[in-house]
Structures are given as structure tokens and as C-alpha cells.
Amino acid sequence: MRDFMEGALFLGYLVIALFFLRFWRRSLDRLFAYFALAFAILAASRLALTLMHLPDEAQLLIRTLRLVAFLLILWAIIDKNRRPGRGATSP
């Protein structure tokens, strides 16, 4: 059951990331790029558990990946509110 849910979440996050990628291409709004990357990393974190054999290393990697993903989302919000250009065309 857990494997099923891990797999479902992996795919779910990945598809969400793809949608955000599409929104980024449509709008050129950096926020969507950050969100797409964050969700892709969350997907990767679900994959990591399956791929890695040593549980401790896996836990550390997963934790790091998730941390990066959340920091990306926070950065996206900060970036959106930083200056008058408001995260328009991406660099």
C-alpha cells in the first residue's frame, strides 16, 4: 500500500510540476518556474526512497530535497514581493 501511495504521489507531484512549467512558458512569470522546480524536487524525494538502499542516507537525502523544495517556494513568494517589476520575465 505504501509503495502505491509513494508512486501515486511521485506521479502527482511530477504532473503538477509539468503544469507549472506550462504556466511559466505562457506567462514568463518566474514564480511558476520556482513552483515547477519545487514540485519536481518533491517528486524526486518520493523517488529517492525507492532508489536508495541505505535507509539513513536515504532519509538525509529526502530531507534535504524537501528542504530545498520548500525554500524554493518561500523564495518564489519573497521574489514576487521584492520590487516593482514583480517577477515578470524570467532572467
48 counts as binding another protein under rule CB under 8 A? no
User: Using CB under 8 A, which of 50, 57, 77, 90 touches another protein?
Assistant: 77
Residue whose C-alpha cell reads 517577477 in the numeric block: 87
User: Using CB under 8 A, which of 13, 33, 36, 44 touches another protein?
Assistant: 13
- As given in the structure block, the three cell numbers for residue 19 are 503544469
How crowded is residue 44: how many other Cβ atoms within 10 Å of its Cβ? 20
Give the chain's end-to-end CA distance (angstroms, integer).
43
Q: For residue 85, give the DSSP letter.
A: T
Binding site for another protein (CB under 8 A): 1-2, 5-6, 8-9, 12-13, 15-16, 19, 23, 26-27, 29, 31-32, 59, 63, 66-67, 69-70, 73-74, 76-77, 80-81, 84-89
